[in-house]
């Protein structure tokens, strides 16, 4: 590598901005599992959350800060001094920590959200950044809604942040307003007009489908940090996708001479699958880099070319992003040691009760499925991580009947700390009946707003992966379940969502404003 090579800092915000996607509500153990995989992926920064938003977020940031080695752990904070102090309290045990301070700067945000004028925003910027600097030398500042902020004022705010101690200046396209050539020019203007020693960063949203393009335009103009989410998760239409930015940089190095990332691209596919399963957000089949169809060819002409030489129609080597068939196969005769050893080789480390629960689920599914593949194991672990000790209910029994004659009926038996509870219900199909029976048994009132089912692997004994989304009193949650029986998988996913709803209600907190 050339001595003049420059590293592009990959700042992953899947656990903060990504979790703000509607229906995603990750527990601390799930966040930790994703953070561990992000560390294996070798990202530079993990933005673990927004500690002041809720006690649950504070605890998750604290857990990640104390357990993850390698990447710098960052957390978001408003400029309020108490928020900054709370942010540091969550981060203080990290090997390396960054406080990411933000405040809105666009006229529409200042007038309608902050009720502040420009002088007040400048004062808040200076005090918030200075307080963060008292805690750590690594301070990032973001003027929220930068692309709709008057240019002169944005430069004034950014200069105030640098003068107060910020060493990373993030330019967020909070509402996805940017166009690549315009956004690139904005980054270049900041670089030219804000004096000091700092790194310029991008944080691009995908409202116009341009988040990745805008991020790359920013890099071409001098940005040396990009803020991204795995699978492009995030508020509304999402953020710039980590896998797209990283692979564009790698494949089109001719457009970014001397710029590289340290991401281990072979871990991209596994990271994508883990995030998809834990968040309950399935990947679209034609998603770039990590979608099911990314390396699939339907056209006869394309198939002919690929059979001769894959480079005829593929610019990415599938194995370079971890998109390859698993060589790991377990069966019903495999023991606990082989199970744990296989997970370890996959980069998954679980112990104690979590390992016992995952192994029990593995044995249960292995009795129904001839071979358990790596993808199956990932699904099993993801499901068990979504089932925590604080779950109110667990599924003991499910009985369903239905067909072309008669009304489908389902009966469920659930266990809770108060003993077993059961309920029966009719429905418009066996899955609908099972969901209604679970609602009756738990006393839950919620609307089903999303349902998807996919096959983890192929074959007649494939494990079905079901995701449901429920909404109750404005709270949206996702639940997931797996089984070789799609009705059982659906019931498990529904109950998982009900338990998440109970936890979300228990820790419900109002967040005054969201971040960049």
SS3 per residue for 255-300: HCCCEECCCCHHHHHHHHHHHHHHHCCCCCCCCCCCCCCCCCCCCH
Find residue 229's DSSP bridge partners: 241
Cα separation, 247 vs 284, in Å, equals 18
Cα separation, 339 vs 362, in Å, equals 9
- Residue 3's CB is within 10 A of a number of other CB atoms, namely 5
Cα separation, 275 vs 37, in Å, equals 9
Q: Which helix (H) or strand (E) holds 376?
A: helix 374-385
Q: Work out the angle between the directed axes of helices 28-41 and 268-279 (0-180°, nearest 10).
A: 170
Query: 17 among the known binding-site residues?
Result: yes
- DSSP state at residue 138: -
Residue 471 backbone dihedrals phi, psi, to 5 degrees: -130, 135
- Residue 417's CB is within 10 A of a number of other CB atoms, namely 6
Cα separation, 88 vs 82, in Å, equals 10
Query: 231 among the known binding-site residues?
Result: no
Strand bridging mode 475-483 / 199-204: unpaired
Cα separation, 248 vs 193, in Å, equals 29
Let me know: does 205 contact 228? Beta carbons within 8 Å.
no
Query: 239 among the known binding-site residues?
Result: yes
Distances (CA, A) of 398 to 93, 138, 438: 45, 53, 10
Strand bridging mode 409-416 / 475-483: unpaired
- Residue 333's CB is within 10 A of a number of other CB atoms, namely 8
Can you say which residues are annotated as belonging to the binding site?
A: 17, 203, 205, 239
Can you say which residues are annotated as belonging to the binding site for Mn(2+)?
A: 17, 203, 205, 239
């Amino acid at each position: 590598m050339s001595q003049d090579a420059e590293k592009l800092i990959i700042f992953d915000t899947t656990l903060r901005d990504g979790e703000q996607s509607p229906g995603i509500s990750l527990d601390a153990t799930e966040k930790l599992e994703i953070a561990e995989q992000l560390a294996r992926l070798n990202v530079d920064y993990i933005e673990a959350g927004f500690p002041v938003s809720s006690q649950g977020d504070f605890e998750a940031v604290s857990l990640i800060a104390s357990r993850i080695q390698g990447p710098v752990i960052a957390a978001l904070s408003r400029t309020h001094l108490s928020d900054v102090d709370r942010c540091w309290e969550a981060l203080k045990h990290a090997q390396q920590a960054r406080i990411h301070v933000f405040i809105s700067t666009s006229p529409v945000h200042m007038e309608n959200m902050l009720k502040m004028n420009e002088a007040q925003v400048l004062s808040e910027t200076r005090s918030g950044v200075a307080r963060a600097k008292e805690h750590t030398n690594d301070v990032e500042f973001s003027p929220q809604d930068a692309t709709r902020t008057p240019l002169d004022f944005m430069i004034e705010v950014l200069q105030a942040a640098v003068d107060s101690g910020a060493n990373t200046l993030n330019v967020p396209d909070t509402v996805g307003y940017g166009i690549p050539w315009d956004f690139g020019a904005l980054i270049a203007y900041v670089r030219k007009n804000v004096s000091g020693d700092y790194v310029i960063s991008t944080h691009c949203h995908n409202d116009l489908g341009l988040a990745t393009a805008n991020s790359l335009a920013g890099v071409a103009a001098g940005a040396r940090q990009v803020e991204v989410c795995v699978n492009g998760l995030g508020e509304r239409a999402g953020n710039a996708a980590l896998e797209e930015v990283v692979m564009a940089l790698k494949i089109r190095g001719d457009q970014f001479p001397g710029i590289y990332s340290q991401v281990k691209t072979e871990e991209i596919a596994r990271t994508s699958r883990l995030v998809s399963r834990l968040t309950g957000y399935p990947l679209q089949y034609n998603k770039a880099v990590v979608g099911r169809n990314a390396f699939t060819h339907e056209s006869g002409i394309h198939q002919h070319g690929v059979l001769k030489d894959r480079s005829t129609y593929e610019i990415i080597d599938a194995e370079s992003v971890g998109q390859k068939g698993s060589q790991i196969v377990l069966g019903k005769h495999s023991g606990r040691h082989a199970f744990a050893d296989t997970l370890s080789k996959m980069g998954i480390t679980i112990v104690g009760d979590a390992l016992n629960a995952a192994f029990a689920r593995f044995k249960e599914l292995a009795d129904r499925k001839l071979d358990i593949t790596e993808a199956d194991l990932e699904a099993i672990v993801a499901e068990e991580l979504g089932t925590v000790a604080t779950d109110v209910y667990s599924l003991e029994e499910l009985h369903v009947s239905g067909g072309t004659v008669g009304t489908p009926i389902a009966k469920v038996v659930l266990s809770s700390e108060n003993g077993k509870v059961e309920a029966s219900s009719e429905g418009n199909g066996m899955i609908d009946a099972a969901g209604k029976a679970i609602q009756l048994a738990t006393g839950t009132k919620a609307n089903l707003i999303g349902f998807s089912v996919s096959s983890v692997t192929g074959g007649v004994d494939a494990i079905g992966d079901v995701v449901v989304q429920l909404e109750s009193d404005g709270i949206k949650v996702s639940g997931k379940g797996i089984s070789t029986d799609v009705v059982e998988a659906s019931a498990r996913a529904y109950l998982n969502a009900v338990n998440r709803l109970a936890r979300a209600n228990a820790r419900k907190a109002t967040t005054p404003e969201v971040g960049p």
